[in-house]
Amino acid sequence: MDKAAIIAQAKDYIANEGDASFKKEVEDLLVKEDWKELEDRFYRNLEFGTGGLRGVIGGGYNRMNTLVVKRATQGLATYVKKASPEKAAAGKLAAVIAYDSRHYSPEFAEAAALILAANGIKTYLFSSLRPTPELSYAVRKLGADTGIVVTASHNPAKYNGYKAYWNDGAQVIAPHDTGIIDEVNAVTSIKEITRLEAIAKGLLEIIDKTIDEPYQAMVRSRLFRPDLIKAKGGDVKIVYTPLHGTGAMHVEAVLGSLGLKVITVPEQREGNGDFPTVSFPNPEEAAALEMALALGKKEGADVVMATDPDADRLGIAVPDGKGGFALLTGNQLGVLLADYIFLSLKEAGKLPKKPAMVNTIVTTGMQKRVAASYGAECIECLTGFKWIADVMRKSDAGEIDTSIVFGTEESYGYLVENEVRDKDGVSAAALTAEMTLYWRSQGKGLLDRLDDLYKINGYWRELGISKYFQGPEGPAIMNGIMAEYRKNPPKTLGGIEVEKVRDIQESVWKYAGKTEPVDLPKSDVLQFFLKDGTVVSARPSGTEPKIKFYASCCAEAGAGGLEAAKAEAGRKLDAISKDIRQVIGN
């Protein structure tokens, strides 16, 4: 990108950006003639992808700022009106907006609300931080046509984002995703209105308790053993951290109302967009739970829990029997919750005629075996919780002949209720607390139950590898890696023969010189199915400039026992990891 083009883009941005601080950032860069930084801010427009926006906060078209949010919202508003012309003409369109603790989240949320209001769409806005799952719940409860949550999930503090939802409470998928993107890209002018005008016209309404209280009641209603909790809930001690995000309000209220002892890490309880006590506010990262684990050890906790900033993900750690705590992976907690849900429904005589759970194509294969042990199906879908929600929608509509009782993905996402159509760290925390109490009443900890399941279903272990490719050249590097894999797929990984390849972008299975169609929506994912049953997947992230690899393998707990199976699985994954890292240079 030459200097003239950079200067033209920068001046256009300055002329249109209403926020003085973002405008000044770009003005100062022009004065300094910092062409490298300016190029990074203007070499492209921050892409409104299939999940919305996510990027570094700052001035420029390749940053998260008020102008970019306003343009995205104008495009969303235009699409919503075109999708429901009769409701638009009658002035009956509605939207809901929530936001988390990140910098500029309140400002971005209000900017979006006023754009929607200016377009004649009544907008319900929370007055302060609320979790993503509550936004999904609110869309469904209020019968809204769309929803927005301002969050960058578990990204570092310099990021913010914007996720768009449809009228079913799920993140948008085809055809709405591409339809919204087209409208966003076509925006040439933005309709605006002031807050006072929006309120006076009945186009902006603040909602808090009208949604908070029903949401909490719904979470409690999804528990299976209220009598057990009432009788012995005080016996379980929980240490919890919201990691400076939105979770404390609901997790404390729900668990506290059940009589469970919840001790929240005080330094991390309040929302803070700097996330001062962690490098990454991500419950997948062991480092993010250091303070919670220290408090858990001090308090003798039965379980340590953490939610990410928008409280849609849940991570836990449990006593390891050696004076410390073991962190469970998203796959392991997903297995335990699936087992507990099926077990509880079966014991209560409430297991549906054709029960099913949903997980993604990169989630552990162990869940399929656990589901089968209860006579249930495990339906797979693309990565991303919107696809799990889509399977639930199809079940509701009778398009598939199953009853969905649980949805989960490997990246610490769980959904245990029907009233929400996105992962829900609050309800997952409540059910995990009950599950901990139940197995304790049976004389077991969660690790004991997990070992029981390994002995029955084989020992499953997973591997995740990610590498970031920042800057203008990043997408080309990732595309090159995927293109090379497609052109020359590996014959072995970790010394194990690759038997089949599933190319979801090309919608084709390839094996033994044959091809078969893939029954999934197109997505840039390659999967290698090894002779021993191991599955290795590669996909560029849809929200960050990185490529991600997943591997899931199983070793049967045979004559050598569980420890031998664990060692075998470890050897396989170490060899596979070495092969992957040679390709990505990490």
- Catalytic site positions: 153
**What does the alpha-carbon distance between residue 286 and residue 288 come to, in Å, rounded to a whole number?**
5
DSSP string, 218-263: HHHHT-S-HHHHHHHGGG-EEEEE-TTSS-HHHHHHHHHHTT-EEE
Element (DSSP H or E) covering residue 377? strand 377-381
Beta bridge partners of 408: 359, 414
Residue closest to 385 by CA, chosen among 418, 356, 358, 367: 358
Pairing between β-strand 508-511 and β-strand 496-503 as defined by DSSP bridges: antiparallel
Q: Residue 109 to residues 45, 95, 129, 370: CA-CA distances in angstroms?
A: 20, 12, 11, 41
Residue 33 has a CB neighbour count (10 Å cut-off) of 9
Strands (E), 41-83: 52-56
DSSP string, 324-368: SEEEPPHHHHHHHHHHHHHHHHHHTT---SSEEEEEETTS-THHH
**What does the alpha-carbon distance between residue 163 and residue 64 come to, in Å, rounded to a whole number?**
13
State both tokens at 131: 């979790």
State both tokens at 5: 């083009």
Determine if residue 340 is left, alpha or beta; phi over 0 gives left, psi from -120 to 50 gives alpha, anything else beta. alpha
